[in-house]
Amino acid sequence: MTPSQGTHFFQNLSSCGVGYFTVNPESGQGELDWDWLQGLPTVARTEFVRHVRLDQPVVVKLSAREGEGVILKR
pLDDT, tens digit, 9 for 90 and up, residues 13-71: 888 888 888 888 888 888 889 999 999 999 999 999 999 999 999 999 998 788 888 99
Percent helix / strand / coil, the chain, rounded to 5: 25, 25, 50
Q: How confident is the model at residue 7 (pLDDT cuts 50, 70, 90)?
A: confident
Helix (H, G, I), strand (E, B) or coil at 59: strand
Q: Where are the domains of the chain?
A: 19-72
